[in-house]
Amino acid sequence: MTQILVTLNEDATTVHVRKAIEMLRGVVSTTVFKTKDESNKKTLRQQAYVKESLKRAFDEMKQARREGRKLQSADDFIKELEAEESV
């Protein structure tokens, strides 16, 4: 058996598309799955968090350049994390 996944936007009428698919030769069954809004909300929250984190990091970098400070390297940061874990 072969399955085909069809994604419809909000404008498409599910009933009409489903009836058209059922009319095709060889179609055994059709099933409608709706995307859960919770997964979309979680993804949006994650994207907002990443955006805010990157904005803070970029602002910190600009401020350090203005003040002539040297920023911590990624290697130094990892060593610091490892040191905290061992305590």
Give CA–CA dist 12/20, Å, rounded: 13
Asked if residue 62 has pLDDT above 90, the reply is yes
Contact of 33 with 44, CB cutoff 8 Å:
no
pLDDT of residue 38: 65
pLDDT of residue 15: 83
Asked if residue 36 has pLDDT above 70, the reply is no
CA-closest candidate to residue 32, choices 18, 16, 11: 18
Of residues 40 and 11, the one with the higher pLDDT is: 40
- pTM of the shown model: 0.45
Query: What is the average per-residue pLDDT within 56-72?
Result: 92
